[in-house]
Chains A and B, each alone.
Chain A
Amino acid sequence: MQMRSNLRRGTTYLTLAGVGFLFVAPLVWMVSTSFMTLDQVGQWPPQWLPDPFTVENYPNALMSWDFGRSFANTATITAWSIAGDLISSTLVAYGFARFRFPGRNILFVILLATLMLPFIVTLIPLYIGFSRLNWINTFLPLIVPHFFGNAFFIFLLRQFFMAIPQDLVDAARLDGASELVIWWRIMVPLARPALIVVAILSFQTNWNDFLGPLLYLQQDNLQTLSLGLYRFNTLPGEASLTNQLMAATVIMVIPVVIVFAIFQKQFVQGVTLSGLKG
């Protein structure tokens, strides 16, 4: 009995390690290739350790396209989008959580329904609209919509606001606090854990976004990291510079991995909240 359960334990860990290896191998290989010389990259069988070890690919990758600019563009768009998501979604979520008004339930169902809408349906008219406004080749199409609330974040924050005791709000109202003050002074601070989840998920979505920049940012000096990587990858001749490409990829991935490492708990929380309450 004891032996059988040991055997089962062993199989479990072996499976986990095997699958885990398959999951991280491409990432390990990316890092390792980024320190290789081009001679070493194309060899068969593929080599896992850089020999000779070189860091040259990093400065070379940074200089071959305006990497610093792309990084700054991505950071700007992401920062504004997070701000927009946080401000608008907390306001709206509070409205749905704490006020009774005619049509509230219907509107909330509509809000959830927008989550299911394939974005391809609205994409073409939005593009036409933004181009009429002369917003193509500006960051505006990527930032402004975030100031009108994100359905998923609203849903998430609403759950949180509903759990805050009503007494707190009533007490503040008796003290003569206005609704906006209650929202800002009581609700927002209490919702901090949920706000962190929203900020992280928003960071991830916007930092990683590809289709939006592809459509709206057609000038090289406006491009984001995703877009730069895509263009670097499709340049004829450049595609063979695998080691530089991997170096650029590493730099793009690092901020995401750092944020993930710090806020791992909140990441998982965000994903599971969507799963359990949805």
Chain B
Amino acid sequence: MATSQTSRLITAEHQLPRLAKLNLRQREAIFGYLFISPWLIGLFLFFIVPFAASFYLSFTSYSILSPGRWVGLDNYVRALTQDPVFWHSLGITALYVSVTVILRIVLGFGLALLLNSKVRFIGFWRTLFYLPSIIPLAALSVIWMQVLDGRSGLLNQLLSLFGIGHIRWLTDPDFALTGLIIMSTVWVGTTMVIFLAGLQNLPEEYFEASRIDGATNLQQLRFIIIPLMTPTIYFNLLINIINAFQVFSQALIMTQGGPQDATRFYMLYVYDNAFRYTPAQMGYASALAWILFVIILVFTLLIVVSSRRWVFYGD
């Protein structure tokens, strides 16, 4: 692949005498397109075509073994009116997204503030909090199955210090979702690192001026730090929401969506329909995927549009 790209460019170089007749501007444009051509081809092959195909499939009863037929809006009607699992998985996914995003923003911001308050060994602390974020998800899931183990897990051990009895985090339908939400805090590190970088970029004058004016720490946070940090908060909000909606692997590995569908997140349900259920229902799964796409798009647009009201860009 790489060599063919390179050789294509080299051929273009050999055509220079002919290119020389073009004016400089045209020549520049041609080279620009040549350089970005790998991505343009990739855009077409891996985004535009599959995107269109997925939209088309969502109106068919396609599965990998049978070509299926056009069913119009049936898949969408089925999801919205006849499929209780759809609403259930959408509901728990929405709950997961709202709780984990708030947790990550609040905890990430809090930790970043702590680290920014001139603590010593800031690099050490940052590493400590960021370390869990780099662990492969499959490995992390296996580790957290032990942490959340109902009999002798670490979390139960911690809770027993407070007199709380054993909770079957992964096998009790009332607690499985909470268990995965607690697990999601391991990725606070990423959000924290971004917040910390934002805090370190804040102009020092603001703090000095407000200190001279006698502002308390809380006032400083409320009226200076948070407004100045809104662009970073905005970015973290957007990224975390998009990511959280796509929660998948840990549920597949740790609970397989159970117990009693308590952790059958939306993505997992799409995956089940497309690849696990027999017969595979790729048409229906495509419709489900498009519904999720529209939901994420609406959320993203809401945040983008509302950001004009609450995100402060300094001059």
Contact = CB atoms under 8 A, between A and B. Distances in A.
Nearest to B275: A215
B117 interface: yes
B138 A230 contact: yes
A20 interface: yes
Contacts of B289: 118, 120-121, 123-124
A96 B114 CA distance: 39
Contact of A26 (B47, B119, B154, B245): B154
Interface string B137-150: 11100111111000
A119 B54 contact: no
A91 B139 contact: no
A107 B139 CA distance: 38
B29 A101 contact: yes
A276 B232 CA distance: 7
The DSSP consensus for interface residues of chain B is helix
B151 interface: yes
A27 interface: yes
Contacts of A189: none
Interface string B280-311: 00100110011011001000100000000000
Interface in B235-270: 235-236, 239, 242, 245-246, 248-249, 252-253, 267, 270
A181 to B, nearest CB: 9
Contact of B290 (A83, A121, A178, A275): A121
Contacts of B77: none
Contacts of B127: 264
B300 A147 contact: no
Nearest to A45: B157
Interface centre among A42, A178, A204 (most CB of B within 10 A): A178
B32 A121 contact: no
B131 A23 contact: yes
A256 interface: yes
B282 to A, nearest CB: 5
A69 to B, nearest CB: 17
A125 B117 contact: no
A24 B131 contact: yes
Contacts of B43: 110-111, 114, 148
Interface residues of A, number: 95
B67 to A, nearest CB: 11
Contact of A92 (B2, B36, B154): B36
Interface in A62-103: 83-84, 87-88, 91-92, 94-96, 99-102
B128 A27 contact: no
Nearest to A239: B145
Contacts of B1: 84, 144, 147
Contacts of A214: 252
Contact of A25 (B50, B138, B154): B154
A162 interface: no
Nearest to A252: B139
Interface in A21-37: 23-27, 29-30, 33
A114 B47 contact: yes
A207 B135 CA distance: 10
Given A118-B242, A260-B134, A276-B197, A148 B42 contact: yes
A137 interface: no
Given A99-B35, A124-B282, A208 B131 contact: no
Given A99-B29, A118-B242, A119-B246, A207 B129 contact: no
A46 B129 contact: no
A33 B64 contact: no
Interface in B196-239: 196-198, 201, 232, 235-236, 239
Nearest to A102: B29
A262 to B, nearest CB: 12
A49 interface: no
A108 B50 CA distance: 20
B190 interface: yes
Contact of B253 (A110, A129, A207, A230): A230
Interface of B: 1-2, 5-6, 9-10, 13, 16, 25, 28-36, 38-43, 45-47, 49-51, 53-54, 57, 64, 111, 114-115, 117, 119, 123, 125-132, 134-139, 142-147, 151-154, 157, 160, 186, 189-190, 193-194, 196-198, 201, 232, 235-236, 239, 242, 245-246, 248-249, 252-253, 267, 270, 274-275, 282, 285-286, 289-290, 292-293, 296, 300
Interchain residue pairs A-B with the least CB separation, the first 9: A148-B42, A95-B35, A99-B32, A275-B194, A149-B39, A272-B197, A101-B32, A226-B138, A125-B53
